[in-house]
Amino acid sequence: MKNIILTGDRPTGNLHLGHYIGSLQKRIELQNEGNYDKYYIMIADTQALTDNADRVDKVKNNIIQVAIDYISAGIDPTKVNIFIQSMVSELHEFTGYFMNLVTLSRLQRNPTIKEEIKQRGFETSLPIGFINYPVSQASDILAFGTTIAPVGGDQLPMFEQAREIYHSFNNTYQPKEEVFVLPKAIVSENKAFQRLPGLDGKLKMSKSAGNSIYLCDDSETVKEKVMKAYTDANHIKVTDPGQIEGNVVFTYLDAFCKEHHFAEFLPEYKNLQELKDHYTRGGLGDVKVKKFLINVLEDFLKPIRERRAKCLEHIDDIYNMLFENSRLASLDAKARLEKMKDAMGINYKNLLSK
């Protein structure tokens, strides 16, 4: 079977370490393996507007930011179609028909939506577009015949919804030929990386929560943020035994530290396990671990920052790439839209005798 990959991000801010570890890293791996027929990355501006209706400028300005973050992180726009969601207007048509296959109570049970409603204070002022975004996201996924999607853990309920719509469409319209493909989400095997915690140690790292280290942060900002990161509230004196679980500094080390970093920055320890053991026993201070993490992150972010600086000299080229890719994505979506309408029996041109 053909492999078609699709993922995306909302242009609500720059991309952060959570995006990298939860999804971007896998996207780059899949890109470099090259085992796909089509590969799309969607900048989900339409979805971003569902909770930012009055912040159009924020969404608009972040489209180019997210595109630059992709390229800086290692996405190659000659291998991957990076497009802008709102420029593929066919997606709205899919959504219009899919909405008839989903109940409101089903959407209200979606655990990610439930959490996001609370986080955004939408309990008594819930935009219909927002509660409906899993349906709209199912359109994005199904419209392109997506087989696999590397995503963070919060997206699993969205894929469940998309798969339900796939089945419901087939049951309702009994297409003679398959119109859609059953999509599968790929998440990191490491639970902590499916939902990298924010610097506060409470919520997931998220653009909307202000608890993120961004791929575009400069050295000074990274240093300040790491120094304030949550560790272990009971680890007060250096001699106190410390806790690794829930300690975001160690979670970030799990995600980004490589064995060679010890030889380079912290030669007293051979590997992360030795560092963790010392911290758990007591006698290792937070500052030392945080300084090590700063070095590790600097090593990771330096090449990304360098590529970003180059991108900034080619903004128009990047916009033109996005516009052209959106045109191509639109053609692909249109082809499947016609198939869908045929299957539903609403391609009225077929009624003409000739």
Residues lying near ligand ATP in the complex (CB under 6 A) are found at 9-10, 12, 18-19, 22-23, 151-152, 154-155, 194-196, 204-208
Q: Distance between CA 150 and CA 155 in Å, rounded?
A: 10
Longest dimension (CA), the chain: 87
Instruction: Please give the angle made by the CA atoms of 183, 186 and 190, to the nearest 5 degrees.
Output: 160
CB of residue 126 vs ligand ATP: minimum separation in angstroms? 16
Closest CA to 20 of 186, 213, 247: 213
Smaller CB separation from ligand ATP, 23 or 169? 23
Smaller CB separation from ligand ATP, 301 or 340? 301
Smaller CB separation from ligand ATP, 200 or 299? 200
3-state secondary structure of 4: strand
CB of residue 225 vs ligand ATP: minimum separation in angstroms? 15
Closest CA to 140 of 24, 49, 7, 11: 7
- Residue number closest to ligand ATP, CB atom: 22
Smaller CB separation from ligand ATP, 150 or 242? 150
Which residues fall within 8 angstroms of residue 117, CB to CB, at 6 or more apart?
123, 126, 130, 131
Q: How far is CA 218 from CA 86, 112, 278, 302, 306, in A?
A: 31, 31, 30, 9, 11
Smaller CB separation from ligand ATP, 13 or 242? 13
Where does residue 351 rank: exposed (0-12), middle (13-18), buried (19+ CB within 10 A)? Answer: exposed
Q: Distance between CA 348 and CA 342 in Å, rounded?
A: 9
CB of residue 143 vs ligand ATP: minimum separation in angstroms? 18
Helical H segments across 147-285, by residue range: 156-173, 191-194, 219-228, 248-256, 259-265, 272-281
CA atoms within 13 A on the CB side of 113: 25
CB of residue 326 vs ligand ATP: minimum separation in angstroms? 18
CB of residue 327 vs ligand ATP: minimum separation in angstroms? 23
First vs last C-alpha separation in the chain: 36
CB of residue 271 vs ligand ATP: minimum separation in angstroms? 24
CB of residue 5 vs ligand ATP: minimum separation in angstroms? 13
Smaller CB separation from ligand ATP, 10 or 235? 10
Smaller CB separation from ligand ATP, 170 or 208? 208
Q: DSSP label at 80?
A: S
Smaller CB separation from ligand ATP, 112 or 170? 112
Closest CA to 135 of 96, 178, 168: 96
